[in-house]
Amino acid sequence: MDDKKRDQLIINIKKLKSTVVNPKESHKYKLKNTRTIAKDGLCFSLVDEYVELYAKIISDILQQDNWNRKISYKYAEDKFGSLLVKLLKDGNDEHATEYFEDLIKDFEIVSSQECVIFLPIFGISMELNSIKLGKIKLVKLTNEKISEIKELTRIQLLKTANDPESKEFFILEEHKRIDKHLSEAKTCAEFHVFAEINRAVELAEEEAQNVIDIFRFAIPTLYARNLRVFIGLQGEYSHQDRYVLGICVDRFVSSLSIILK
């Protein structure tokens, strides 16, 4: 990041910090737009054009040094919120540059860690145990593969849980989700990437979609002529529970969502 852009970002951060209002007093303003943020024991509001400035600062940071390729907006927003809270608690702008540099250092650390993402793919069965397609590997979810994934989650949760009882509880609950949701999928996309873990999940979804699109293109080309019918991949089954699992050196994420096609 060049010095000019860095200085402008810090100026905008200081400007934003100076405009926050107490949520209890927001009724005093004639507001077109407002956003209230509660974080790290502090609650404050941004109003009107400063809501847009808040989003612009985060977007501008992500555009520098191609951070948007490795850092998710969600993660950047969380860290930027912590930066604002620190400045508000300080009561002055003395440490604005220091806090900004800390944010960039954090980005450098989390984006340099390798993540592995397991993303279930419905409607595809495989004869082979695995096949590499582009940046992802399609994996047949055999009992052995599911056991391997469960062991990876166990190792990671042993690192991150706070006490022995909670460790065992979280491990057991996560293993139940794996048994229920991964075994139903039969196939998953395995994706390795150096990125912040939430961004890694986004990238895995993008790459898996690319593979699905290739299948949609290739299947009619390969088979329609012989069978004299149009055979195509019409998409995954509706209302499937997609359990996505992400693991890296010091972080673990899992999510459950419904596929609506």
The whole-number pLDDT of residue 210 equals 86
Tracing tokens 């998710």 back to the chain, one arrives at 72
The whole-number pLDDT of residue 234 equals 46
Looking at the structure, tell me whether residues 136 and 94 fall in a common domain: no
Looking at the structure, tell me whether residues 69 and 129 fall in a common domain: no
Looking at the structure, tell me whether residues 18 and 142 fall in a common domain: no
Q: How far, CA to CA in Å, does 103 sit from each of 44, 71, 99, 188, 211?
A: 21, 12, 6, 34, 35
Last residue of a domain, one of 72, 92, 111: 111
Looking at the structure, tell me whether residues 254 and 182 fall in a common domain: yes
For 153-159, which contacts have Cβ atoms below 8 Å and span 24 or more sequence positions?
153/178, 153/245, 153/247, 153/252, 156/247, 156/252, 157/252, 159/250
Phi (first) and psi of residue 44, to 5 degrees: -150, 165
Looking at the structure, tell me whether residues 137 and 254 fall in a common domain: yes
Looking at the structure, tell me whether residues 98 and 125 fall in a common domain: no
Looking at the structure, tell me whether residues 74 and 87 fall in a common domain: yes
Global pTM value:
0.82
Whether 17 and 84 have beta carbons less than 8 Å apart is answered as yes
Last residue of a domain, one of 84, 111, 138: 111
Q: What is the mean pLDDT of residues 108-121?
A: 92
**pLDDT tens-digit map of 187-231:** 889 999 999 999 999 999 999 888 887 776 665 555 555 444 444
Looking at the structure, tell me whether residues 125 and 248 fall in a common domain: yes
Coil, strand or helix at 113: coil
Looking at the structure, tell me whether residues 97 and 119 fall in a common domain: no
Q: Using 50, 70 and 90 to split pLDDT, how confident is the model at 235?
A: very low
pLDDT of residue 3 exceeding 90, the answer is: no
The whole-number pLDDT of residue 221 equals 54
Cα dihedral sign for 100, 103, 109, 112? Answer: negative
Looking at the structure, tell me whether residues 95 and 53 fall in a common domain: yes
Amino acid letter, residue 215: F
Q: What angle do CA 44, 46, 48 make, to 5 degrees?
A: 155
Q: What is the mean pLDDT of residues 62-85?
A: 94
Whether 59 and 5 have beta carbons less than 8 Å apart is answered as no
Looking at the structure, tell me whether residues 16 and 33 fall in a common domain: yes
Residues of the chain above pLDDT 90, percent: 44
Q: How far, CA to CA in Å, does 197 sit from each of 106, 139, 202?
A: 13, 20, 9
The whole-number pLDDT of residue 202 equals 93
pLDDT of residue 77 exceeding 80, the answer is: yes
CA distance 153 to 151: 5
Q: What is the mean pLDDT of residues 57-75?
A: 94
Whether 138 and 187 have beta carbons less than 8 Å apart is answered as yes
Domain hosting residue 188, numbered range: 114-259
**pLDDT tens-digit map of 116-161:** 999 988 777 778 888 898 899 999 999 999 999 999 998 888 887 6
CA distance 158 to 6: 39
User: What DSSP state is assigned to residue 98?
Assistant: H
The whole-number pLDDT of residue 22 equals 80
Residues of the chain above pLDDT 70, percent: 84
Q: Residue 113: is it exposed, middle or buried by C-beta count within 10 angstroms (0-12/13-18/19+)? A: middle
CA distance 138 to 122: 12
